[in-house]
């Protein structure tokens, strides 16, 4: 057997549920696991005689994402009917956009290692209505719940620009971060707010000849983990299949496979067959949409700095590590709160530590954002500066924030006082304690003064003794200085 | 002149339309649809090269509703006309294929 | 007294009820008396609501007695075609697939009728899903023409036209996708208006061809037609294709109804109209003479694409219908087969059992026209032809106030005469279809009779949203002729 090289090529089809209050074409509230068929009206049930009316907010949310993806926004777009029969689709057609998607020709930048990024092309972004759900029971029948039917759904199709499972995952995470930043989707994969369907194939070079394996679309991926895993699994499966059958990409041999989480494999769902005939045609019940300049500008003005841009800026501007900048920019509210604390006078690195070590922990416990902890940016800035000024230790600062969160009305002066958080920096007072420690630990003193290997360890030991005697309140910096002076 | 549509096509269209046809119906429809489609050929007398298709006869666009919640029917009314139900669900024979 | 009451116009009746001279209950009882008498022969109704109607009539009478304000149709017994959803009774579209369907909501026009204090007496028969020109395609019952019970009432709003002509209501609503109000109005000797597309809300009108469907009145006079329009016209936020006040204000159609249109310019399309039967052509000529005597100028216009209207229409309408009727699948409501082996058969067998032949034919035709490989040749081509037809109207209306032509090439034909030849049936829609394709309003008013004493209608078409002028032009003719006063022998 000759030389064989291959690379995986992945494009994604992504569906994002938009978090409007009401459904796309009717006034039913979006569903969050209520009783089945309780959020259904004649319109989303597809009853005789009903007509859809477009939810403006859904359209604006979709445009916002398309703009964030740097798509060209169509001046004129329309709604088309896509026909297929399925029990979760009450009208047996889906209102979608066919030949004039609202956005096309964009890209998304995804972070790679070491602060590098990669552009993934976006072919199109269009709006459509979600279907309901078919539930498969143990019996010989299925159940249909239409609560989800009519939920606004943004479909995004990428170019096949991803060349590893890791990149696929990174794109998914980045897109989730983006739509959450824009406030247009809750983007929870487990809950199906975001659904990723990778189209995967391999480009194999064997004996100097290039082969492309048939494209496989994978469905039922409900976490970033399985999304990533499915690409790896498919990569190996396609390689094995190619080596066995030699089948290459051709007309109509694209297949759909479902993810089997128990066995960690993909399972064939739809056999190669002729492409379904969806009979798209313009929906006569809905009028076209024209994006006039002012309207687009108004939507554009609601665009915020995107997470990846912000992450890069945080590294540049605040000299944070890429990791820290990533943590701070994961949620828009955290990133914005961080900048407000810095604006209130906190030093970036210190503020970052406070927010990541204690702020996010508290927010997570309470199930809110850091901005909602009842601790103001000014409070955070004060604590941060008190650490820098030697008034608080790092752990004292964390403690102070925790206590403030419990009792937001209590001033820090009282919190510090009541909990003995203020560090002792009085040289006179500390000198006495240091002297006592020197007297009590002659062996360690000797190790320090004699220099050599044990010197550093012994000095730490003495410092620890002072901290113990002061119940942790001594300012370690001042104590070290005194020790240096006395033993140096 | 050959028929515009044959029985195989008629059956294909019937399948696409989810209509079970008897053989007699298929034969009858083939003749009738052929005659109708033959008549439609008339449109080809017109040169429409530079004519825009007209899907809506009203020159209106951008009709929207505000994103406001209205009361739904509730489960009971939603299922009131259901031919078969299973608790709060519509009930259908087991769906085996995925779309 | 009874027949005097039944022959009143809506307006007279309403004014009498409002003044306390007539009780709505009496009018309603008279209507149900007529229904008892004529309905077994005519078969206009799919369902009637005697108890409900009388309760509403009594409620209106009580309001008037108490001096409370009442609506514009206070106490007037009316009927609606069974293609409009009502929370009372069933909404069947004359189809077995919806035979037991109970709508959880009212169509906007039904809400408007109720808000105007009209008394809804029943829901009228029609061609199944409004597909047909004779009401013979009803899956539920047969309706005959009150003028000759061996003949069809026309369609698809045949029940509405027969009920109005048969004095079984004072006015009715129909729906018109390709002539379904005007042609039965013409066959039954009553007035029928298809308003401009977008003038009347379609919300709750069970869709056939969504870009063509429009609800309109069927009445015994132009004034009643104007009164009904006052109640039903206007933008509906639930219908994206209904037009707002800013673009096309709704006016009081009764206000200037009796003012003749000054310097009226009527256009005719001689070659096109020449396709009609001789009595129909003759009646048209006589009608034009009436207008001439009233000072109108008659001009000839060329509308070269009208000949292609049937082809374009039967593609556009059936394509839309194939999609609109996909929802009747036996899953969420409507008829479900008892013989389904799997869920796919729930679809194919429920639909095969529930739909009649014409509906199946049109679904198949529309599906074919939209299917891969045929879309451009049929559907797209039809949309282009549609644009040419709209252009014909735009050109004509630059030169005239209205266009006049026959409603139908024939008068009411015999039951069964065309039912086995769908294409011939389609061809009979030649004069009505183009108004739907162009979206313009068109009215049919009685203008004569043939040798068999069958009514003939005159069709008048006007520019979009010019219903006020259209009604005035129609009224000019009506106030100078007696055709609309003739009654079918069955009711005398
Ligand atoms: Zn709804």
Note whether C372 contacts A: Cβ–Cβ < 8 A: yes
Among the residue ranges A440-454, C196-210, C291-305, the one predicted with the least confidence is: A440-454
* Cβ–Cβ under 8 Å, residues A175 and A136: no
Q: Which of C322, C361, C423 sits opposite B39 (nearest CB)?
A: C423
Contact B78 A40 (CB under 8 A): yes
In a domain, C365, yes or no: no
Q: What is the pLDDT of residue A342?
A: 96
pLDDT tens track for C165-177? 999 999 999 999 9
In a domain, C92, yes or no: yes
Q: What is the pLDDT of residue A104?
A: 98
Cα–ligand 1 centroid distance for C169 (angstroms): 35
Q: How confident is the model at residue C465 (pLDDT cuts 50, 70, 90)?
A: very high
Residue C1 pLDDT exceeds 60: no
For every residue of A325-379, DSSP letters joined together read HHHHHSSHHHHHHHHHHHHTT--HHHHHHHIIIIIHHHHHHHTS-GGGSS--HHH
Nearest Cα neighbor of C202 from C228, C232, C160, C170 is C232
First vs last Cα of chain B: how many Å apart?
41
In a domain, C411, yes or no: no
Q: How confident is the model at residue C255 (pLDDT cuts 50, 70, 90)?
A: very high
Q: Given the structure tokens 């004039």, which residue do they identify?
A: A100
Q: What is the pLDDT of residue A485?
A: 82
Cα–ligand 1 centroid distance for C453 (angstroms): 51
Pairing, β A76-77 against β A289-290: antiparallel
Segments making up each domain of chain B, as ranges: 7-44
User: Which regions in chain A score pLDDT beneath 70?
Assistant: 1-2, 270-274, 488
Q: What is the pLDDT of residue C253?
A: 97
Q: What are the start-end ranges of the E strands in A24-179?
A: 54-55, 72-73, 76-77, 80-83, 93-96, 103-111, 117-129, 133-136, 141-145, 152-158
Fold observed for domain B7-44? Histone, subunit A (1.10.20)
Q: Which long-range contacts (CB under 8 A, 24 or more apart) does A171-175 make?
A: A171/A12, A171/A108, A171/A110, A171/A120, A172/A12, A172/A14, A172/A196, A172/A224, A172/A227, A173/A224, A174/A108, A174/A109, A174/A110, A174/A111, A174/A307, A174/A308, A175/A14, A175/A16, A175/A108
Residue B25 pLDDT exceeds 90: yes
Dihedral over Cα of A257, A261, A263, A265: its sign = positive
The domains located in chain A, with CATH, are 4-298 (no CATH), 307-418 (no CATH), 427-487 (1.10.10.410)
Q: What is the pLDDT of residue A2?
A: 63
Q: What is the pLDDT of residue A5?
A: 93
Q: What is the pLDDT of residue C72?
A: 97
Q: What is the pLDDT of residue C194?
A: 98
In a domain, C77, yes or no: yes
What integer best gives the mean pLDDT of chain C? 97
pTM of the model: 0.92
Number of domains present in the structure of chain C: 1
Residues of chain A contacting residue B74, judged by C-beta atoms under 8 Å apart:
38
Residues of chain B contacting residue A20, judged by C-beta atoms under 8 Å apart:
67
In a domain, C303, yes or no: no
**% of chain C with per-residue pLDDT over 90:** 97
Q: How confident is the model at residue B2 (pLDDT cuts 50, 70, 90)?
A: low
Residues of chain A contacting residue B98, judged by C-beta atoms under 8 Å apart:
219, 256, 258, 269-270
Residue C282 catalytic?
Answer: no
In a domain, C352, yes or no: no
Q: What is the pLDDT of residue A1?
A: 52
ipTM of the complex: 0.97
CA distance C287 to C457: 10
Q: Which helix (H) or strand (E) is A290 found in, with range?
A: strand A289-290
Residues of chain C contacting residue A53, judged by C-beta atoms under 8 Å apart:
237-240
Give SS3 for C381.
helix
Q: What is the pLDDT of residue A471?
A: 77
Cα–ligand 1 centroid distance for B92 (angstroms): 21
pLDDT tens track for C429-450? 999 999 999 999 999 999 999 9
Q: What is the pLDDT of residue B98?
A: 66
Q: Which helix (H) or strand (E) is C193 found in, with range?
A: strand C191-194
Catalytic residue among C81, C112, C123, C194: C81
Backbone angles phi, psi at A5, to 5 degrees: -125, 155
Q: What is the pLDDT of residue A293?
A: 92
Contact C327 A48 (CB under 8 A): yes
Q: Given the structure tokens 């590294």, which residue do they identify?
A: A315
Q: Which of residues 117-136 of A touch C (CB under 8 A)?
A: none
pLDDT tens track for A184-217? 999 999 999 999 999 999 999 998 899 999 999 9
Note whether A49 contacts C: Cβ–Cβ < 8 A: yes
* CATH code of the domain in which C247 resides: 3.90.1300.10
Pick among B9, B38, B40 to test the C interface (most C CBs inside 10 A): B40
- Reading phi first (left if > 0) and then psi (alpha if -120 to 50, else beta), residue A135 is in beta
For every residue of C217-247, DSSP letters joined together read EEESSHHHHHHHHHHHBS--TT-TTSPPTTT
In a domain, C253, yes or no: yes
Contact A42 C105 (CB under 8 A): yes
Provide the residue range defining the domain that includes C249.
2-263+416-491
Q: What is the pLDDT of residue A423?
A: 78
Pick among B57, B88, B94, B97 to test the C interface (most C CBs inside 10 A): B57
Residues of chain C contacting residue A48, judged by C-beta atoms under 8 Å apart:
85, 91, 93, 98, 101, 103, 206-207, 327-328
Mean pLDDT to the nearest integer, C257-263: 96
What is the number of other CB atoms lying within 10 angstroms of the CB of residue C195?
Answer: 26
Mean pLDDT to the nearest integer, B49-74: 95
Note whether A419 contacts B: Cβ–Cβ < 8 A: no
């Amino acid at each position: 057997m000759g030389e064989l090289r291959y690379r995986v090529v992945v494009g994604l089809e992504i569906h994002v549920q938009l978090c409007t209050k009401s459904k796309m074409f009717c006034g039913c509230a979006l569903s969050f696991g209520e009783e089945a068929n309780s959020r259904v009206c004649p319109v989303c049930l597809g009853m005789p005689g009903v007509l859809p009316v477009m939810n403006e907010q859904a359209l604006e949310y979709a445009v916002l994402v398309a703009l964030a993806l740097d798509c060209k926004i169509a001046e004129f777009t329309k709604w088309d009917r896509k026909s297929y029969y399925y029990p979760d689709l009450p009208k047996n057609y889906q209102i979608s956009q066919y030949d004039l998607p609202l956005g096309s020709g964009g890209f998304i930048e995804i972070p790679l290692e070491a602060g590098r990024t990669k552009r993934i092309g976006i072919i199109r972004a269009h709006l459509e209505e979600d279907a309901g759900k078919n539930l498969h029971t143990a019996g010989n029948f299925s159940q249909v719940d239409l609560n989800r039917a009519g939920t606004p759904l943004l479909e995004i199709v990428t170019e096949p620009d991803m060349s590893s499972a890791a990149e696929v995952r990174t794109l998914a995470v980045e897109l989730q971060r983006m739509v959450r930043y824009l406030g247009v989707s809750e983007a929870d994969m487990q809950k199906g707010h975001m659904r990723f369907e990778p189209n995967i194939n391999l480009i194999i070079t064997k004996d100097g000849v290039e082969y492309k394996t048939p494209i496989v679309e994978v469905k039922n991926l409900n976490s970033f983990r399985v999304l990533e895993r499915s690409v790896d699994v498919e990569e190996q499966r396609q390689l094995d299949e190619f080596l066995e059958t030699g089948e290459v990409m051709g007309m109509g041999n694209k297949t759909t496979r479902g993810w089997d989480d128990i066995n960690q494999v993909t399972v064939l769902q739809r056999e190669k067959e002729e492409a379904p005939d969806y009979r798209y045609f313009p929906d006569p019940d809905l009028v076209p949409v024209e994006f006039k300049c002012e309207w687009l500008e108004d939507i554009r003005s609601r665009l915020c700095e995107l997470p990846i841009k912000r992450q890069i800026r945080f590294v540049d501007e605040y000299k944070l590590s890429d990791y820290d900048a990533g943590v701070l920019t994961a949620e828009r509210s955290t990133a914005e709160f961080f900048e407000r604390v810095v604006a209130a006078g906190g030093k970036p690195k210190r503020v970052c530590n406070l927010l990541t070590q204690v702020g996010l922990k508290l927010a997570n416990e309470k199930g809110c954002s850091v901005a909602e902890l009842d601790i103001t940016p000014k409070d955070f800035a004060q604590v941060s500066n008190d650490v820098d000024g030697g008034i608080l230790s790092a752990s004292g600062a964390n403690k102070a924030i925790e206590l403030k969160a419990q009792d937001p009305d209590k001033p820090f002066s009282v919190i510090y006082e009541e909990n003995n958080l203020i560090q002792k920096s009085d040289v006179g007072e500390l000198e006495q304690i240091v002297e006592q420690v020197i007297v009590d630990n002659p062996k360690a003193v000797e190790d320090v003064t004699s220099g050599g290997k044990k010197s550093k360890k012994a000095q730490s030991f003495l410092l620890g003794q002072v901290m113990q005697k002061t119940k942790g309140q001594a300012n370690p910096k001042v104590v070290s200085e005194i020790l240096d002076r006395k033993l140096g | 002149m050959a028929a515009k549509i044959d029985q195989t096509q008629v059956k294909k269209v019937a399948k696409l339309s989810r209509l079970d046809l008897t053989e007699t119906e298929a034969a009858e429809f083939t003749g009738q649809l052929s005659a109708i489609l033959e008549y439609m050929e008339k449109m080809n007398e017109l040169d429409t090269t530079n004519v825009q298709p007209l899907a809506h006869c009203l020159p209106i666009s951008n009709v929207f509703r505000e994103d406001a919640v209205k009361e739904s029917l509730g489960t009971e009314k939603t299922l009131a006309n259901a031919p078969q139900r299973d608790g709060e669900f519509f009930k259908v024979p087991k769906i085996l294929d995925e779309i | 007294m009874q027949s005097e009451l039944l022959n009143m116009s809506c307006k007279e009746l309403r004014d009498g009820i409002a003044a306390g001279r007539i009780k709505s209950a009496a009018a309603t009882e008279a209507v149900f008396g007529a229904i008892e008498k004529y309905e077994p022969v005519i078969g206009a109704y799919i369902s009637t609501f005697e108890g409900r109607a009388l309760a509403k009539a009594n409620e209106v009478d009580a309001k008037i007695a108490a001096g409370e304000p009442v609506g514009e149709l206070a106490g007037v017994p009316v009927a609606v075609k069974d293609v409009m959803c009502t929370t009372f009774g069933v909404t069947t579209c004359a189809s077995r697939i919806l035979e037991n369907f109970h709508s959880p909501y009212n169509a906007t026009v039904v809400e408007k009728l109720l808000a105007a204090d009209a008394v809804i007496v029943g829901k009228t028969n029609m061609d199944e899903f409004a597909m047909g020109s004779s009401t013979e395609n009803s899956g539920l019952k047969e309706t005959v023409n009150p003028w000759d019970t061996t003949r069809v009432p026309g369609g698809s709003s045949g029940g509405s036209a027969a009920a109005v002509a048969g004095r079984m209501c004072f006015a009715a609503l129909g729906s018109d996708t390709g002539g379904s109000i005007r042609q039965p109005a013409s066959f039954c000797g009553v007035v029928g208006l298809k308003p401009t597309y977008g003038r009347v809300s379609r919300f709750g009108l069970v869709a056939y061809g969504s870009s063509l469907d429009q609800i309109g009145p069927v009445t015994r006079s132009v004034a009643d037609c104007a009164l009904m329009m006052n109640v039903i016209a206007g933008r509906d936020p639930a219908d994206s294709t209904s037009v707002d006040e800013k673009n096309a204000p709704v006016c009081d159609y009764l206000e200037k109804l009796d003012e003749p249109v000054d310097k009226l310019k009527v256009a005719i399309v001689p070659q096109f109209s020449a396709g009609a039967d001789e009595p129909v052509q003759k009646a048209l000529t006589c009608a034009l003479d009436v207008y001439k005597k009233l000072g109108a100028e008659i001009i000839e216009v060329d509308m070269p694409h009208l000949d292609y209207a049937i082809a374009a229409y039967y593609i556009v309408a059936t394509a839309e219908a194939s999609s609109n009727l996909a929802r009747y699948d036996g899953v969420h409501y409507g008829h479900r087969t008892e013989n389904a082996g799997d869920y796919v058969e729930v679809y194919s067998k429920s639909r095969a059992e529930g739909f009649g032949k014409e509906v199946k034919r049109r679904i198949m035709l529309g599906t074919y026209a939209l299917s891969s490989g045929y879309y451009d040749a049929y559907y797209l081509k039809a949309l282009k032809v549609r644009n040419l037809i709209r252009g014909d109207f735009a050109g004509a209306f630059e030169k005239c106030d209205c266009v006049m032509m026959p409603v139908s090439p024939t008068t009411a034909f015999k039951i069964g005469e065309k039912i086995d030849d769908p294409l011939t049936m389609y061809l009979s829609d030649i004069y009505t279809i183009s108004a739907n394709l162009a979206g313009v309003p068109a009215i049919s008013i009685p203008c004569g009779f043939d040798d068999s004493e069958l009514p003939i209608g005159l069709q008048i078409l006007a520019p979009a949203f010019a219903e006020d002028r259209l009604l005035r032009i129609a009224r000019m003719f009506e106030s100078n002729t007696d055709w609309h006063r003739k009654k079918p022998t069955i009711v005398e």
